[in-house]
Amino acid sequence: MTSLEVAGVYVAVNMLLLIYLAFRVVSVRQSARISIGTGGNEQLEVRTRVHGNAAEYIPAMLVGLVVLALMGLPGWAIHVGGGAFTLGRVMHMVGMSGNILPLRAGGILLSWISMILVAGAILFHAFA
């Protein structure tokens, strides 16, 4: 696989994760008949925030992975950043959905570390 193809794997997986999370929100909206906001529904509140949190972090990281691939970094480097980030997002989703604080915290930490490393690699290669 080329580096861009490796980045494409993480783009696709994270896009599917966003769709899955959106589906979880929509399913509660339909069953509770809540069109806008959360209507005081705790399950909808949690699912909305899980989806919103993913939507806040995933796009920037995916851009970073594609930029690294276009800069010519090897596929293994894209796998490290993309794999760690995606694992972190799944950990965060499970932890936040199940109110499992260590999993949630570990997931966000892994997501942040991955983003910092990818941003650092972009800056390093841009100025090297």
What number of helices (H) and strands (E) belong to the chain?
A: 4, 0
State the Cα–Cα distance between residues 34 and 57, nearest whole angstrom.
26
Domain regions of the chain by residue span: 3-127
pLDDT digits (tens, 9 = 90+) for 41-66: 999 999 999 999 999 999 999 999 99
Predicted pLDDT at 109: 97
How many of the other CB atoms lie within 10 Å of CB of 127? 6
pLDDT in the model for residue 115: 98
CB atoms within 10 A of CB 114: 24
C-alpha 12/C-alpha 30 separation (Å) is 27
Q: How far apart (Å, rounded) are the C-alpha atoms in residues 59 and 70?
A: 17
Whole-number Å distance between alpha carbons of 68 and 74: 9
Task: Select 3-127's CATH number: 3.40.50.11810, 1.10.760.10, 1.20.120.550, 1.10.1200.10.
Answer: 1.20.120.550
Per-residue pLDDT of the chain (128 residues; tens, 9 = 90+): 999 999 999 999 999 999 999 999 999 999 999 999 999 999 999 999 999 999 999 999 999 999 999 999 999 999 999 999 999 999 999 999 898 999 999 999 999 999 999 999 999 999 98
